[in-house]
Chain A
């Protein structure tokens, strides 16, 4: 059931390097190493997903999961989510919000815009490692997307 890891990609949109490192630690700890692309804000995320004039390659095709922080410089996580859901190509792409906010309004808004999950980053590191690791495993290994063959 383990797929070719070279084809499996996670986009991590996170402006906080410590959180980014811990997230990648957690994913690595669960055996999903070398599959993460880390961008530091929403604008960078959109460039990576849909390409730019200089780098026209749209990388969304290689992605199976987006881990999206909400509070980001330049373009917010919410706007990134909206853009992903507005484009037919990225609409089925699983997006899990990974954030410090446990605000009900943020949760509701995220789901309204088509988020597939919402994880409040725990302060306690063991809990953090466990939650993010399980999350990665689920979406990368267990979840099935359209067009995929078993």
Chain B
């Protein structure tokens, strides 16, 4: 597209002064050249209209910016047709208000100010041929003839896109800056708040919080420090922290300052500080370096806690511990003592046991001797008794005519006593035999055994009428011959002592009780006085006269001896003339030994 230089518009003469003051009348610019330069500029859109706004000139810059060819717009469009209609309307309204005159929303709105001689540069959105839009800055100038009458307008526009972008970026930057400022402000507020809280903490802390510089000079002093040490902030700020340190601990401050200068913390050490009053205060101290923004150590903060109570508690604990240790020690000593006593007891027991063993052996030995003696004596005694009886009988048989009736009777008394002594010896032998015989334990059917004994004893004296009741009996374990002997002896006694009863009654019963089988033989016979009960089981002990009930007084002794050998026991209950009940108990057969 070539610039249109032809036109029927009378071009105004351009009077300009030469740039840089070098222009002179002698060298006037050629108007045509200037016009060409302006109109051919690609960076400006130069649009000239007639007085009504119809485009007459549309330069290369306009063609490039707006996408139209000059031929398409010249004599057909006005600048309003290539402007944002909304903006045109808005501008019309705004100008109408500003200038207090109705301005039509069209080309008039674009040039009205210029038509009144007011310089007018404004921003406007141009619409390209393809419909796309770009921001433009437009300068409007009215073209006048020599008489000053308006013959047209020149609108020179520049593409404002780049500037708009810059403006947008600037706005963005401004926004960011503003955001930062706001954030910074908030951070400051937060910092102020925290600082306030910290200050409150420091002020209200129960711990003394202080700071000092690297020379040990106090720079801050909170109320707790005043309470703890007795010095006010006025007393201390600017003074050396070392006034708090007892003279014997003065080295501490040197060490502390050395550590702080090295940037190290001094954590939780317990020490003693001196109050203004001179009294000493146990404290726990933590010291941290204070650094400036560059990280240089410029001083130290110090937190001190009164540990008087803690120390007292510790002392109390120590006291308790000492007490406990004392207790433990004394308990240990007691244990040692009791161990000693135990050992002594064990020795005594061992001595006793060995003595018991010895005594048992001695007793067993003397028991055996006694039994051998009894055996021997009873045999040796029996022979003379036989002779006494035998020869008394011979005397009576051979010389009864010479002895007479009284002589024979008296010799009969000799014989009766000899025979009685023989019976005593037999029983004594039986009794001593129980102790020497081995026990052959076996399971015993007591019902059967008792029935057998009862039958046998009844047969010995068929004339007697005795009512026997035999309840079912528990079985037990023992030597059959020996326990049969027990039943024989008890039942023999029962039969004997019911001899005088018109209705003899003998009841046999049994039960299991307390791990024992207990058997009872109860009769309604002569009974006995319980005052003599302990004599019942002694050898040759009798509670009845011989002329009442015969006997040697060995039966119950034998029964007791048999039961003792079975780890059992026997006892009797009775009343004179109201019967007797003899009971014996045998331990129940033990179950299988527990693993």
Contacts and interface: CB of A to CB of B under 8 A. Distances in A.
Interface of A: 16, 18-19, 22, 25, 71, 100-104, 121-126, 128
Most buried by B among A104, A123, A124, A128: A123
A19 B393 contact: no
B379 A22 contact: no
B375 A123 contact: no
A128 B419 CA distance: 12
A122 B385 CA distance: 10
Given A25-B394, A101-B379, A103-B375, A123 B429 contact: no
Interface in B417-456: 418-419, 421-422, 425-426, 429, 433, 437
Interface residues on B, range: 20 to 34
Given A121-B383, A123-B421, A125-B415, 4 more contacts: A25-B394, A100-B383, A125-B394, A128-B390
A96 to B, nearest CB: 17
Contacts of B183: none
A123 B393 contact: no
Contacts of B394: 25, 125
B387 interface: yes
Contacts of A126: 393
Contacts of B433: 103-104
B418 A18 contact: no
A123 B422 contact: yes
Contacts of A121: 382-383, 386
Label chain A's interface by main secondary structure.
loop
B422 A124 contact: yes
B391 interface: yes
B419 A18 contact: no
B379 A100 contact: yes
A18 B393 contact: no
Nearest to A71: B379
Nearest to A101: B379
A101 B379 CA distance: 6
B389 interface: yes
A22 B386 contact: yes
Label chain B's interface by main secondary structure.
helix
A102 B384 CA distance: 16
A18 B379 contact: no
A18 B390 contact: yes
Given A18-B383, A100-B379, A102-B429, A123 B419 contact: yes
Contacts of A124: 389, 419, 422
Most buried by A among B379, B385, B386, B419: B386
Nearest to A123: B422
Enumerate the 9 nearest inter-chain pairs by beta-carbon distance, A residue then B residue, closest first.
A123-B422, A18-B387, A125-B390, A125-B393, A100-B379, A22-B390, A100-B382, A125-B389, A123-B385
Nearest to A15: B383
Given A123-B418, A124-B419, A22 B387 contact: yes
B379 A125 contact: no
26 contacts: A16-B383, A18-B383, A18-B384, A18-B386, A18-B390, A19-B383, A19-B386, A22-B386, A100-B379, A100-B380, A100-B382, A100-B383, A101-B379, A104-B433, A121-B382, A122-B386, A122-B422, A123-B382, A123-B389, A123-B419, A123-B425, A124-B389, A125-B386, A125-B390, A125-B393, A126-B393
B370 to A, nearest CB: 16
Nearest to B423: A123
A123 B388 CA distance: 9
B391 A18 contact: yes
Most buried by A among B375, B379, B385, B433: B379
Contacts of B415: 125
Nearest to A121: B386
Contacts of A125: 386, 389-390, 392-394, 415
Most buried by B among A19, A71, A103, A124: A124
Contacts of B384: 18
B574 to A, nearest CB: 33
A143 to B, nearest CB: 26
B379 A128 contact: no
Interface in B343-399: 375, 379-380, 382-387, 389-394
